[in-house]
Structure 1
């Protein structure tokens, strides 16, 4: 098994950094600071990220994806559903299926057809209170219910994806109609599965919350490599940079006391590591892809 060591690449610390995504058109990294309601942009000047702009949504945000036309901005998994974020910082609500449910939206991603998928979780982590949605026009279509902490998505084909509901301690395979089966279980000793990405060889890189690592798995669950991260709560990862060979990793200090934050000075920072393995370009949101 190969081992990598990720290095901090941004001085700033987030409370709960999540959802990294490489925008290959702007050649920038996107990510969110969930509870602060921030969408962040930075360019990569190895070995450091250089901030470009920060947008404040005024509410929690779980994920962000770029629109196919860069002038259209981004679509976000906002606190209660979905919204459009303009390049000028304006925010337009598209759908709020989680209003009044004691929940918030969490991780999400666009699929190869240009549709945006994102899921929710209860603020108190009530089992089964979350839902995975597919955004179609102004409608959030529920695809999976009885979800607890909806997390990473990675597409194996345009109509089939790998999916993490963190407390299940596994990666599942789901089709566009919501048929779901276990792909593989993850040893709790590695941590709890959170966000993830897929590489050009078809292997999954899964952020291990509580495990201080990102672990590379084959599609049947064999551990292929491990990325060590100097923060306990590793939340997500993506490939980016020239050739898409840099793995960017987000971490969190969610729930930390001041003493815990002081004891883990890198928690909440972004990390990067050169893997020698190429990722795949992130899919972009296309309104014409909805429902196709």
Structure 2
């Protein structure tokens, strides 16, 4: 499989790739060197905006701007001015937490997760946010949440307990979680499950931090495919391009020793490869 580094930006913790059709561009973030990035494949143009705090994700809004999840809370982000305007702070009482990953459900609601920035305490939770406000999704707290991502019909939400190496599937009815079951487990030595993404066939792609690649699971939890990358820390995949068949993978240099960094000169790059399957068209947030 041909793997191309399309932007060698050396992100400390590249994360949250999302294809935005109205821009014909891929958006993503660098959490630890806080910035929002945009890559336009048709022209090769790259652009970056500094963020005022650690930024876990950025998603397109139906209003024409973007919504970003920062350590300080959820903000409206205007790419024209570069300004961040706070709109919700679900964890104002937990200053050592930060928002970590998110997606937009088919109804336009944002589902996002949080984590302990020190990666020790079980203080991470999932939230659902729409025009009426931001509410706890009701899942048990864990240290590092990742995801969520939704099945093509929107009835199953996949989310990860990264340090526990467990992938979960929750049934969702009318914006509420009704049941949760174990979906898959990552074995010792294979890395930690980072961001999940679902393709048009309902299969779940999971980035492997410290795992040198991405896995694709069937809807029943069977491992189907592993795609190897030339860097250890693969964080998440998004499907983009006019046919949604190009997979873009964000990666990270975080945690690498000087020797490991020298052996992985592309750590923190944005990669692209032919996924062999289409992704799902994105939804604009109704916020």
Cα drift, residue 122 of structure 1: 0.6
- 255-264 or 204-213: bigger deviation: 255-264
Once the two structures are superposed, the pairs formed by residues 1-292 of structure 1 within 5 Å of their partners are 4-45=1-42, 49-51=44-46, 53-70=47-64, 73-87=65-79, 88-101=81-94, 102-137=96-131, 139-143=133-137, 144-156=139-151, 157-174=153-170, 175=172, 176-178=175-177, 179-287=179-287
The normalised TM-score by structure 1 is: 0.90
Q: Summarize deviations over 1:42-67 as a string: whole Å, max 9, x none.
A: 1113xx8431x212121100011101
- 228-237 or 97-106: bigger deviation: 97-106
Q: Summarize deviations over 1:252-281 as a string: whole Å, max 9, x none.
A: 011234343222211101111012211111
Contact 1:186-1:221 at 8 Å conserved across structures: no
Q: Which runs of 5+ in 1 are unaligned?
A: 288-292
Task: Name the SS of the counterpart of 1:219 in structure 2.
Answer: coil
Cα drift, residue 129 of structure 1: 1.0
**RMSD (Å) for aligned C-alpha atoms:** 1.8
CA distance in 2, matches of 1:272, 1:82: 29
Contact 2:15-2:235 at 8 Å conserved across structures: yes
Contact 2:213-2:234 at 8 Å conserved across structures: yes
Task: Name the SS of the counterpart of 1:168 in structure 2.
Answer: coil
CA distance in 2, matches of 1:111, 1:139: 15
CA distance in 1, matches of 2:44, 2:194: 23
Q: 1:5 to 1:215 in 2, by over 3 A?
A: farther
Contact 1:127-1:146 at 8 Å conserved across structures: no
Contact 2:158-2:196 at 8 Å conserved across structures: no
Task: Name the SS of the counterpart of 2:163 in structure 1.
Answer: helix
Task: Name the SS of the counterpart of 2:23 in structure 1.
Answer: coil
Contact 2:113-2:147 at 8 Å conserved across structures: no
* Paired positions, count: 279
Q: Which runs of 5+ in 2 are unaligned?
A: none
Contact 1:163-1:172 at 8 Å conserved across structures: yes
Q: Which has the higher helix share?
A: 1
CA distance in 2, matches of 1:76, 1:159: 25
Cα drift, residue 241 of structure 1: 0.9
Cα drift, residue 181 of structure 1: 1.7
Contact 1:121-1:148 at 8 Å conserved across structures: yes
CA distance in 1, matches of 2:76, 2:142: 25
The ranges of structure 1 where at least 4 consecutive aligned residues each deviate by more than 6 angstroms after the TM superposition are none
Cα drift, residue 242 of structure 1: 2.3
Q: Summarize deviations over 1:69-119 as a string: whole Å, max 9, x none.
A: 42xx10011113211001321111011222342111101111110011111
Give 1:290's aligned residue: none
